[in-house]
Amino acid sequence: MSIAVGDKAPDFDLLTDGGGHVKLSDLKGKPVVIYFYPKDMTPGCTTESCDFRDQHPNFAAVNAEIIGISKDSAARHDKFKAKYDLNFTLASDEENDTCERYGVWVEKSMYGKKYMGIERTTLVIDGEGVIRNIWSKVKVKGHVDEVLAAVKAL
């Protein structure tokens, strides 16, 4: 499945760090930033998550929620969150349903070997649940600043 700017964001209900869960439809009325990332504790994913952590006060100032989603377990998210003092929700999509509905579960290639994995992707969803921005194949450096600017422009 693929999604596009202007589409209604597919709802999800996922387990999160701390033994909780997050449901997109429960966040109606506020902007939501969802970033899909391949794996906890890896260099690029750690940098991206720490950038969101550092900018969290600026996202909170415009009432925006940040949700990081990967296939890692909620228990692994707890370790990742504790190690890097992350201050936002990490959701677990172990069943891969949400990744597939958002079109981020794709064929990738490394050193000539093909495999399936999460394509680093960020979305901004407005308070009505409509996708307003999509960044695919995200390059981490400077990305969070661009996302913050898009949220402020809503």
Catalytic residue numbers read 45
Residue 51's nearest CA partner among 88, 102, 20 is 88
CA separation, residue 21 to residues 13, 33, 64, 96, 134 (Å): 7, 16, 18, 16, 24
Contact 14, 22 (CB under 8 A): yes
Rounded Cα distance, 23 and 32, in Å: 11
